[in-house]
Amino acid sequence: MAIILDGKKLRDKILNELTIKINTYSNKPSLAVILVGDNPASKLYVNNKKKIAEKIGINSQIFEYESNTNEKEIIKKIKELNADKNITAILVQLPLPKHISREKILSAIDPQKDVDGLSPINFGKLFSGLKPYAYPCTPKGILLLLDEYNIEIEGRKVVIIGRSNLVGKPLAQMMLDRNATVTVCHRHTKNLTEITKTADILISATGEYIVKGEMLKHGCVVVDVGIFKDSTGKTRGDIDFENASKIASYITPVPGGVGPMTIASLMINTVELYLNNKNA
Ligand code: GUN
């Protein structure tokens, strides 16, 4: 049976360490979160981020907007937050309503306050071999989790399913930076199983239940980024956990794997941006 990559346990360890550190700061880091629309999952995530931030000593404010709010109003708020010395980190929860340009919104965030590392400056830095002010939270969390279990990355074959800006693309680059051989698959990939069978480390981030046990190589490491409710209301990920855990050497559970690590990374990034921000 595969060893469980316990994201909750590592998250708690990281949060404890951060709490002690933050306690020693004279000012507190402060995270502003912008939420547009009434997507229930986004609301849940945002409230959870605020709750955890406050628990470890980070000030956090949520700015909520109706789904029909126009782009200009959000950009105006971001500019205000950019200029506000009391705000050290800004996060715009994604996805945004269709009429709002994600690129325009992310471009408006001061790169030094861009806690998700998704603004074009930080994304550009990542892809050109420069250090961004912050690394995207989910990929960062996955690497922290693999490192915690001493899973070797250098020289290994990493297969990522999903090419989103949030996960697949930045993760591919971060794996390349760690000297992995990386393949990125997506909905147009042909013969997916042929490729996943070669993976030493397989990461799936599609939000669809697509990875079956027989698609895996014996002893591989499996990371599931997906989380959704299936038709019976059960929370599940992209990967058939029951069968995959008989084949893999390590596997993330859903929930309790990558999700908590995204939050942990967000808190680390918030503290790092604060420390860079000469207010500390
Ligand atoms: N929506 C789902 N995951 C994320 C994330 O990591 N950051 C932001 N901003 N939005 C998300």
pLDDT computed for residue 150 by the predictor: 98
Average model confidence (pLDDT) for the chain?
A: 97
Tell me how crowded residue 194 is: count the other CB atoms within 10 A of its CB.
10
Task: List the residue whose alpha carbon is closest to atom 2 of ligand 1.
Answer: 94
Q: Is the CB of 262 under 6 A from ligand 1?
A: yes
Mean pLDDT across 91-98: 97
Task: Tell me the pLDDT tens digit for each residue of 216-248.
Answer: 999 999 999 999 998 999 999 999 999 999 999
Atom of ligand 1 nearest to the CA of 266: 6
Ligand 1: which of 94, 169, 263 to mutate, judged by most atoms within 8 Å of the beta carbon?
94
Compute the distance from residue 1 Cα to the ligand 1 centre, in Å.
32
The protein residue whose alpha carbon is closest to atom 4 in ligand 1 is: 94
- Mean pLDDT along residues 41-57: 97
**Mean of the pLDDT values across residues 104-133?**
98
Q: Model confidence over 185-219: pLDDT tens digits?
A: 999 999 999 999 999 999 999 999 999 999 999 99
How large is the average pLDDT for residues 173-181? 98
Ligand 1 pocket residue status of 93, Cβ below 6 Å? yes
Q: What is the C-alpha to C-alpha distance for residues 130 and 211, in angstroms, rounded to an integer?
A: 34
Other CB atoms within 10 A of residue 177 CB: 12
**Cβ 166 under 6 angstroms from ligand 1:** yes
Measured over the CA atoms of residue 185, residue 188, residue 192 and residue 194, the dihedral's sign is negative
Q: How confident is the model at residue 277 (pLDDT cuts 50, 70, 90)?
A: confident
114 C-beta closer than 6 A to ligand 1: no
Average pLDDT over residues 129-156: 98
**Looking at the predicted structure, is the pLDDT value of residue 45 above 60?**
yes
Q: How many CA atoms lie within 13 A of 199 on its CB side?
A: 31
* CB-ligand 1 contact for 109 (6 Å cutoff): no
Instruction: Give the residue numbers annotated as catalytic, written as ranges.
Output: 49, 93, 116
Check residue 279 and give its pLDDT: 57
How far apart are alpha carbons 84 and 86 in whole angstroms?
A: 5
In order of their start, the domains of the chain are: 27-110 (3.40.50.10860), 137-259 (3.40.50.720)
132 has a pLDDT exceeding 60: yes
Structure-token pair, residue 210: 């697509």
pLDDT band at 2 (very low <50, low <70, confident <90, very high): very high
pLDDT at 158 over 80: yes
Q: pTM of the entire structure?
A: 0.97
Nearest CA residue ID for atom 1, ligand 1: 94
